[in-house]
């Protein structure tokens, strides 16, 4: 187990419980606090009452997809860094990046690569 990151909380949003569980385990192993949601609407409720530095969200979900969630995050005073993960071939990476996502990972993706990318973007916070 690595040292705890400076109170960095990652919100993991995915409609597949197995993916949430896998990502949550990995982020905790690397020293992050985690919160989870199964859809964009649940994620927004969490963001309304919690301070989150990173959002890792699926793109295509029922009850508020990833772009819906990203548009909400973009309106926050201190928006968290936003990363997309998706298994959908029809998703436009360009659209996601133009909308403010930091990076887009296609499923299946390398969890360590995702975490290293997040740490690179959050380096000033450590």
Closest CA to 8 of 46, 54, 49: 54
How far is the C-alpha of 118 from the C-alpha of 23, rounded, in Å?
A: 13
User: Per the domain annotation, does 28 fall within a domain?
Assistant: yes
With tokens 């968290």, the residue in question is 80
Q: How many residues does the chain have?
A: 126
pLDDT digits (tens, 9 = 90+) for 11-45: 999 999 999 999 999 999 999 999 999 999 999 99
User: Per the domain annotation, does 58 fall within a domain?
Assistant: yes
Are 9 and 32 contacting, i.e. CB atoms less than 8 angstroms apart? Answer: yes
How far is the C-alpha of 20 from the C-alpha of 58, rounded, in Å?
A: 10
| pTM across the whole model | 0.88
CATH number for 44: 3.40.50.2300
Task: Supply the pLDDT for residue 98.
Answer: 85
User: Per the domain annotation, does 32 fall within a domain?
Assistant: yes
Read off the DSSP letter of residue 32.
-
pLDDT digits (tens, 9 = 90+) for 60-117: 889 989 999 999 999 999 999 999 888 765 567 778 788 888 888 877 788 888 898 8
User: Per the domain annotation, does 2 fall within a domain?
Assistant: no
Q: Which domain holds residue 111?
A: 9-125
User: Per the domain annotation, does 102 fall within a domain?
Assistant: yes
- Number of domains composing the chain: 1
């Amino acid at each position: 187990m690595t040292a705890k990151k400076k109170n960095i909380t990652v919100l993991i949003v995915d409609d597949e419980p197995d993916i949430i569980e896998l990502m949550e385990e990995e982020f905790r192993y690397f020293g992050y606090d985690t919160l989870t949601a199964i859809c964009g609407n649940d994620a927004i409720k969490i963001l309304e009452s919690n301070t989150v530095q990173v959002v890792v969200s699926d793109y295509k979900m029922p009850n508020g997809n990833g772009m819906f969630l990203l548009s909400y995050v973009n309106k926050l005073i201190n928006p968290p860094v936003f990363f997309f993960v998706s298994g959908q071939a029809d998703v436009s990476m360009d659209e996601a990046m133009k909308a403010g996502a930091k990076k887009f990972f296609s499923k299946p993706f390398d969890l360590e690569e995702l975490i290293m990318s997040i740490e690179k973007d959050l380096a000033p916070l450590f």
